[in-house]
Amino acid sequence: MGVPTLFVRFGGCDYRCSWCDSLYAVLPEYRDTWEKLEPGAILDRLFALAEPPSWVTLSGGNPALFDLTDLILEGQLHGYKFALETQGSIHKPWFRHLDHLTVSPKPPSSGNVTTPRETLLALCAAGTATTIAATTETPARVSVTRPPSTVKIVVFDEDDYRYAQAIRDLVPAIAFDPPLEFCLSVGNARPSQGEDPDPAALMDRYRWLIDRALADGWHDARITPQLHVLLYGNRRGV
Judged by CB under 6 A, how many residues of this single chain contact ligand SF4? 12
- Spatial separation of the C-alpha atoms in residues 71 and 61, rounded to whole Å: 17
Which CB, 86 or 130, lies closer to ligand SF4? 86
Task: Please give the full DSSP string across 77-126, using - where no structure is assigned.
Answer: HHT-EEEEEE-SSS--GGGGG-SEEEE----GGGT-PPPHHHHHHHHHHT
Burial of 5 (0-12, 13-18, 19+ CB in 10 A): middle
Q: How far is CA 213 from CA 116, 149, 200, in A?
A: 19, 21, 20
Which CB, 22 or 57, lies closer to ligand SF4? 22
Q: Decide if residue 8 touches ligand SF4 (CB under 6 A).
A: no
Q: Decide if residue 26 touches ligand SF4 (CB under 6 A).
A: yes
Smallest distance, Å, CB 193 to ligand SF4? Answer: 15
Of 13-21, 44-52, 131-139, 183-191, the window that binds ligand SF4 (rule: CB under 6 A) is 13-21
What x/- string results for residues 37 through 66 when contact with ligand SF4 is judged by CB under 6 A?
A: -----------------------xxx----
Q: What are phi and psi of 135, to 5 degrees?
A: -100, 5
Site for ligand SF4 in 64-93 (CB under 6 A): 87
DSSP single-letter state for residue 51: P
Which CB, 114 or 144, lies closer to ligand SF4? 114
Which CB, 191 or 233, lies closer to ligand SF4? 191
User: In which element (H, E) is residue 165 found?
Assistant: helix 158-170
Which CB, 63 or 139, lies closer to ligand SF4? 63
> Residue numbers of the site for ligand SF4 (CB under 6 A)?
13, 15-17, 20, 22, 26, 60-62, 87, 106
